[in-house]
Each structure stands twice: as structure tokens, then as C-alpha cells.
Structure 1
Amino acid sequence: MSSHSVALNAGLQMPLLGLGTYKLCGPADVYQAVDAALAAGYRSFDSAAVYRNEADLGKALRELLPKHGLTREDVFITSKLGPKDQGVKAMDGALHSLSQLDLEYIDLYLIHWPGTQGLQVADDRNPGNRAQSWASLEELHGQGKLRAIGVSNYTPAHMKALMQSCKVPPAVLQVEFHPRLCQPELRSLCKEFGVCFQAYSSLGKGELLTDPVILEVAKNSKRTPAQVLLRWAVQQGVPVLPKSSNPERILRNAEVFDFALSDPDMDRLSALDCGQRFCWDPSEVA
């Protein structure tokens, strides 16, 4: 891996830049995006059971890695346990992801959501289901099938409970993170626990690309708004997962390591924090 990576507590390096594959549907779309991403230098790919593209991603990588002179060991693959498999079905869910991807191991496997499909958010069975899922992930980690395990969309309360009960600490917490949602409490908890804090939805589902402050910073630094948003995160050591099916945009989104934002610009962007979410809010999940 290049220097553009972070060391995980599980003993492996995770690239700071990965391709998010949410909404990448069908073999052709996935193949085109993966091809463009590998050409642009991406070495990390983020999928999930609920994206329904694990099989297409696995197939695209098998076909494209040789074309780009790469091997399985050169890429970092993340997938996630679907909320329908939370609890007793977690072992089967994780093994299904492995078989869909057609890999001997997954680099990072996350519990996608703290709740359970079919249960109310306040249902007091959710904590037990999470604990059961985590125990299954720990077992598969011990077998080497999941090289690192982690969580996504956990709140500070969910993280504290996990840290108290786990045998293997989570390597990564993946949450929504951008200038309007800076997540200071979660970030300091992750730092305290030695957990890598990773961002998704860095562009705020595209809505942040027209924010006046972001546009001004982009204009002054002669960069696109997307590049500024991604740079803001990686400059703080936070890995990002921009998603796109457009080869040109995939290439542009990778150009975040050849410039830096000034301290005043970083501060201006961080000052936009107002707790705004563009994605789901896990704070009500028991």
C-alpha cells in the first residue's frame, strides 16, 4: 500500500481513498467503475450485503486485477453485514458475503447498522443481537476469513457498550462525516479506543457541492468542490469512500493527495458543522 493509508489495530494498512459502490448496479456498471478506479490508483473497494453488488464486484476484480498488473493482495475489500442478518444469522450473513465476493478472505467486514431489520428501533433485543453478531465476526476473524472487523453507524453509546464486551476491538467505525457533520464525540472516542474513524457520504449526497463556503474554498484552491470536501477529510487522517459510476469523476475524486488546504480554509469548512445528516440517523436505536 502507498503512504496514503492508515494503520488499523488489526495489523493491516487501509487506504485513505476507497471507491464506494452504493447504488452501483449490474455487472457492466460495476466493471466500468472498478476499471476506472484501478486505473486512477484506487486500491480499496467498499461494498455491503444490502448493495446487492458483492458478486459483481468480486467478478470485476478477478477480471481486472491482472489487466492492471495487480493481485488480490494489492487491494483492500470491505463489505458489511445486512440488518436482516443481525444476531443469530450473522455467521451465515458474513459467509454469504465471502461466497458472493468469491474471496478467501475479506479485508474488513462491518456490522452495517446497530438495529435489526424487522424490529423497532427502541426494541431492547437490538443490543443482544449486536453482541451476537460481533461474537460471530470475532470467530470468523480468528479463522482468518475476516482480516479486520468493525462497525458502521454506531453512536457513542453503541461504541462504549461494544468496547466493554468485545474480545477483539473494532478496527474501524464508518459513519457519515462531512463539514456539516463533524462528529467530534465519536472522533475523540475512536481516538481513545484506537479505532480508525472512516467517512461515508463525504459530499452530503451531492448537496454540499453547491454550498457557498465550499464553492469559495474550491475556487481559491483551483479545485473542484468534491476534491475540497474529500481533501478536508483525508487531511485530518480520515479515510473516504467517494462513490461514482462516472470514470471522469472517479479519476477527479482520486486527485486529493497533490494539494493541501490552508489552516484557515480547514477551519472555515469545519465551522459549517451544524449536525446535519443526509443519511439515516442511528441515534434512536436501542
Structure 2
Amino acid sequence: MSVMDIYVHLSSVYKMPLVGLGTYRVRGRDVIYTVIDESLNSGYRSFDTAAVYKNEEDIGYALNKLLPKYALSRSDLFITSKLSPSDNGDPQRIRESVLRSLKWLGTAYLDLYLIHWPGASGMSENSQQNPELRNLTWRTLVEIQKEGYIRSIGVSNYNIKHLKELLQNSYGVIPAVNQVECHPHYSQKELIDFCKREGIHVQAYSSLGTSDPTALLKDPVVYSIASDINVSPARVLLKWAVQQGIGIIPKAVNKKHIKENVELNFMLTSSQMETLSNLPQQKYAWDPTNVF
């Protein structure tokens, strides 16, 4: 079975492709059109964006133009967007943000909408207002979900503390997804185990590392395993996630990489998986640890 045929059944009852296309820092109408074209051609049906990426309108344009080319309809896609931290805790701005994303993406509904960050822009990470704002944001999204504008709601960059707090006052809706940094240099075992117990799907971002793009891809252990099984280091890192049932949204603008990122029809041995999971840990992206 191709990795593109694997779907995750979310707590919201909807299903989500295990693999999607990330679009962080992918900008420009022509660039996005080419990327979406090649992605659809390669079998991608899930697309991840966010208000802060400032590319929703161009993604919507590309999908509108390209779906007929591949005999696809909106129902064949899974589209995710995220709330800007600047709108956390403000019901009116949250609603406006959702409606704006719908307009720009050219769709009547979003398959998944995430709270992008557990804190609010312009507020200290240790502010005791953060829990109150998170609670208000979640309550507002639950209301909007009931109105049909969003099918599933979830969070991003939430740690166990934030999740426990949300689950204690979830207004009857648990997060369908927690999208977090996750890769062999930051394996997140405790968080993943917690999410599994609570029925929250973990989706990884930065699967190939970020701030130093060579640190993870050129890790000697990763490189050695890749050489042993004759695949690229990137594919080893992506397979490490999907073999655990962790969703991935690798970003790529190069046509070759777009195709290769879903050529994951191989298995890592239990020994290789264990070795990768026990590499020295290093975080590359946002760190929500200190968000009260």
C-alpha cells in the first residue's frame, strides 16, 4: 500500500491523510501553482497552511485552477489552516480569521483548523492570562465547528500541560490533532504517548529539521541507515515518523523532492527505529515549554 493511501481516523469522525504537503515559507503565486500542480500529480491530497504563512490566497487560486486538471473535487482534499497567535482569545477576530481563510482558500469549509500557538502575540510567555485566552479561543472554535465552517479542530505546539488543561475544559470536543515539531533529534515520546492515550493524532512538522537544515539530514546515524537501505536521509526521517503512525507535512518546492518525499514504500527495522529514536535530542523550532 502506498503511503498516500493511508488515512487516520480522527476523534471528530473525519479521516485525514497521514501525509500532506507543508507550505511554510512557500510564497509567490507562480511558485505555489507549480508546487500544487506537482503535488496533486504525485498524489498529495492534504495541504497545510496558516494565517501567518500569508499564502492562503495563492493556494486557493492554484487549487481552483488545478482540480479540474486532475478530475478532482473539493471533497477529495483535506485542507488545514491555523489561527494566528495575534488573534488568540478574541472571539470576533477568531471568527474573522476563519472566514478570511475560507474566502482566500476558496472553500466553504476547512477540514482542520488549529490553534497555532498556546500563547498570544504581544503577551509575556509567563502571563497568567494565557490559560484564559486559550480557553476562550477553544470555546469559540467549538462554536464555529458546530456551525459547519470547520470539520475538525485541534492545536499546534501544545505540550502535555497545555493539553491536560484543555481536556479539563474542552466544551465536549477534544483536539483532533496536535501538530508539533517531531523528528529523531526531538522524538517527543512522552507527548506522543500522552496523545495516543487521549485519542489525539500527532502530526509532525520540521521532520527534516529547520534552523540548521544540514544538522539532522547529515547526522552520521541517519546517513548510515540511509546508505544501508539505499534511500535518501530525508526519506529515512519521514519513514521514521509514518512507521509510528505520526502524520507528516514535508515542505518542498523542488519537483524531485515533492515526489521523493512520498516514496516511502520500505520498512525500517525495529533496531533502526530504536537507534533513530534514541539520538541526542535537539529542538530546532518554536519552544512552548515556558508558555504558562
TM norm. shorter chain > 0.5: yes
Determine if the alignment matches structure 1 residue 123 to structure 2 residue 127: yes
Question: How much has 1:182 moved relative to structure 2?
Answer: 1.0
Provide, for residues 107-163 of structure 1, a one-character-per-residue CA deviation record: whole Å limited to 9, x for no partner: 000000001011111111111111111111101111111000000000110000000
For the residues of structure 2 that align with 1:2 and 1:153, how far apart are their CA atoms? 25
Q: What's the secondary structure of 1:219's corresponding residue? A: helix
For the residues of structure 2 that align with 1:259 and 1:14, how far apart are their CA atoms? 22
Q: For residue 137 of structure 1, what is the aligned residue in structure 2?
A: 141
Determine if the alignment matches structure 1 residue 150 to structure 2 residue 154: yes
Q: What's the secondary structure of 2:247's corresponding residue? A: coil
| AA of the residue aligned to 1:142 | K
| AA of the residue aligned to 2:50 | A
| Aligned CA distance change for structure 1 residues 273 and 237 (closer, same or farther; 3 Å) | farther
For the residues of structure 2 that align with 1:95 and 1:115, how far apart are their CA atoms? 22
**TM-score calculated relative to the size of structure 1:** 0.97
Q: For residue 279 of structure 2, what is the aligned residue in structure 1?
A: 272
Q: For residue 234 of structure 2, what is the aligned residue in structure 1?
A: 226
| AA of the residue aligned to 2:252 | S
| AA of the residue aligned to 1:283 | T
Q: What's the secondary structure of 2:8's corresponding residue? A: strand
Segments of 4+ moved more than 6 angstroms: none
Q: What RMSD, in angstroms, separates the aligned Cα atoms of the two structures?
A: 1.2
| AA of the residue aligned to 1:160 | K
Q: Aligned ranges for residues 54-203 of structure 1 at < 5 Å?
A: 54-88=56-90, 89-167=93-171, 168-203=173-208
* Preserved contact between residue 64 and residue 106 of structure 2 (Cα < 8 Å): no
* Preserved contact between residue 34 and residue 61 of structure 1 (Cα < 8 Å): yes
Q: What's the secondary structure of 1:45's corresponding residue? A: strand
For the residues of structure 1 that align with 2:7 and 2:62, how far apart are their CA atoms? 23
Where does the alignment leave 5 or more consecutive residues of structure 1 unmatched?
Answer: none
| Aligned CA distance change for structure 1 residues 216 and 2 (closer, same or farther; 3 Å) | closer
For the residues of structure 2 that align with 1:233 and 1:119, how far apart are their CA atoms? 33
Q: For residue 244 of structure 2, what is the aligned residue in structure 1?
A: 236
* Preserved contact between residue 91 and residue 133 of structure 1 (Cα < 8 Å): no
Q: For residue 29 of structure 1, what is the aligned residue in structure 2?
A: 31
* Preserved contact between residue 178 and residue 201 of structure 2 (Cα < 8 Å): yes
Question: How much has 1:247 moved relative to structure 2?
Answer: 1.1
| AA of the residue aligned to 1:42 | Y
Q: For residue 47 of structure 1, what is the aligned residue in structure 2?
A: 49
| AA of the residue aligned to 1:194 | G
2:287 to 264, 276, 281: 281
For the residues of structure 1 that align with 2:259 and 2:280, how far apart are their CA atoms? 28
Identity over aligned pairs, percent: 48
| Aligned CA distance change for structure 1 residues 75 and 273 (closer, same or farther; 3 Å) | farther
Determine if the alignment matches structure 1 residue 260 to structure 2 residue 267: yes
For the residues of structure 2 that align with 1:69 and 1:223, how far apart are their CA atoms? 32
Question: How much has 1:285 moved relative to structure 2?
Answer: 0.6
Question: How much has 1:2 moved relative to structure 2?
Answer: 5.8
| Aligned CA distance change for structure 1 residues 86 and 152 (closer, same or farther; 3 Å) | same
Q: What's the secondary structure of 2:217's corresponding residue? A: helix
| AA of the residue aligned to 1:191 | K
Q: What's the secondary structure of 1:283's corresponding residue? A: coil
| AA of the residue aligned to 2:204 | A
Provide, for residues 181-232 of structure 1, a one-character-per-residue CA deviation record: whole Å limited to 9, x for no partner: 1112211111111110110000012331111000000001110000000000
Matched length: 284
For the residues of structure 2 that align with 1:68 and 1:3, how far apart are their CA atoms? 17
Q: What's the secondary structure of 1:209's corresponding residue? A: coil
Using the TM superposition, name which of 224-233 and 1-10 deviates more. Answer: 1-10
Question: How much has 1:12 moved relative to structure 2?
Answer: 1.1
| AA of the residue aligned to 1:280 | W
For the residues of structure 2 that align with 1:42 and 1:118, how far apart are their CA atoms? 36
Where does the alignment leave 5 or more consecutive residues of structure 2 unmatched?
Answer: none
**TM-score calculated relative to the size of structure 2:** 0.95
